[in-house]
Amino acid sequence: MNGSLVLVILVGLSLGILSIFIEYYVIYVAFLPLVVFGGPAHIIMSKSEMTSKWEQFQVSMPIKRKDIATVPYIIILLALLSGIPVSTLISVIHFVLRENTMDFLMRSFANTFLIVGTVLLTAALFYPFAYTKFGNRSRKGLGFVCLIVAALVNLLIILGGKGLLISDGVIALLNIAISGSAFIISLFVAREIYTKIDF
């Protein structure tokens, strides 16, 4: 998992560097979601992250089940923290070298916040269901459904904010607030579900 995460970040970084030297905005647009969302999405969608045999082994270790249920949330945050500095650095370099306007930089940060919000909300929806018998049937399919739902919620937040004439920055902060709250609530719900799951 660690190697795959590094690979995703390196590919995203390479795309970001390429976008600095090649004047195609589409490359930069593709760079942001890849470097910020790519790692966490890979973690959530990976089959190897949670298998029944591995979980049976985990609960046999001298670690509280609640702590085991907390680990995936920490991994998601670490994956985000590894991608956000890269996206910020490339955005600032774009701003300086290409002499873009401050509006460009603010939009880049707002888009990054929206992507982070989607990651947090996807994880918030995924893990509690993944620890149930329903979610255990197809965790990859569950991850895809949670991603779609999180994207739709983000879209509604954006459309609602635009309808109320709210700035992109405020919409991004609102998105982070909602998604972050859901992420924290989900953590406590998942911890409780995991303590009662029967392997």
Q: How far is Cα 101 from Cα 2, in angstroms, rounded to an integer?
A: 37
pLDDT at 191: 85
Q: How far is Cα 57 from Cα 91, in angstroms, rounded to an integer?
A: 43
pLDDT at 49: 46
pLDDT at 48: 43
CA dihedral angle for residue 155, residue 39, residue 143, residue 141, rounded to 10 degrees: 120
Instruction: Evaluate the CA torsion angle 132, 137, 142, 145 in order and state its sign.
Output: negative
Domain ranges within the chain, ordered by starting residue = 2-196
Contacts of 127 (CB under 8 A, 6+ apart): 69, 72, 73, 186, 187, 190
Q: What is the pLDDT along the chain (199 residues), one digit of tens a residue?
A: 555 667 777 777 787 778 777 766 677 777 778 888 888 887 877 744 455 555 554 555 556 767 777 888 998 888 888 888 888 888 788 777 765 667 777 777 778 888 888 899 999 999 888 877 766 666 777 888 888 999 899 889 888 888 888 877 788 888 889 999 999 999 999 888 877 766 5
